[in-house]
Amino acid sequence: MALLVLIVLGATLGWLASILARTEAPGSILRQVALGMVVSVVAGEIANDGTMIGSLSFLSLGVALAASGAALVLYHAIFTRKRVKV
């Protein structure tokens, strides 16, 4: 159940990041959702002492939320530079 919660959390954060960044390309939206999911699962598993069979602690949920948010911000800062025409 903890794994499912982390997957949904990461997918939701990736989707919200695509809305906030006004991304319209389907490939880019899917990359953001996938990035959010992967980072959320990895960070949540590390914070939950490497096990996903038990319950999910609030600490691992917070770490997964923060790590996904940071990864998505870095993704937008590095890979999606919008150029301004002068």
- List the one residue out of 10, 1, 4, 5 whose CA is nearest residue 66: 10
Percentage, residues of the chain above pLDDT 90: 3
Q: Which residues, including other chains, have CB under 8 Å from residue 85's CB and lie 6 or more apart?
A: none
- Count Cα neighbours of 25 within 13 Å in the Cβ-side half-sphere: 5
User: Do residues 24 and 76 lie in contact, with contact meaning Cβ atoms separated by under 8 Å?
Assistant: no
Percentage, residues of the chain above pLDDT 70: 88
- pLDDT grade for 18, boundaries at 50, 70 and 90: confident
pLDDT at 86: 59
Mean pLDDT of 26-38: 87
Angle at 61 between CA 45 and CA 80, to 5 degrees: 85
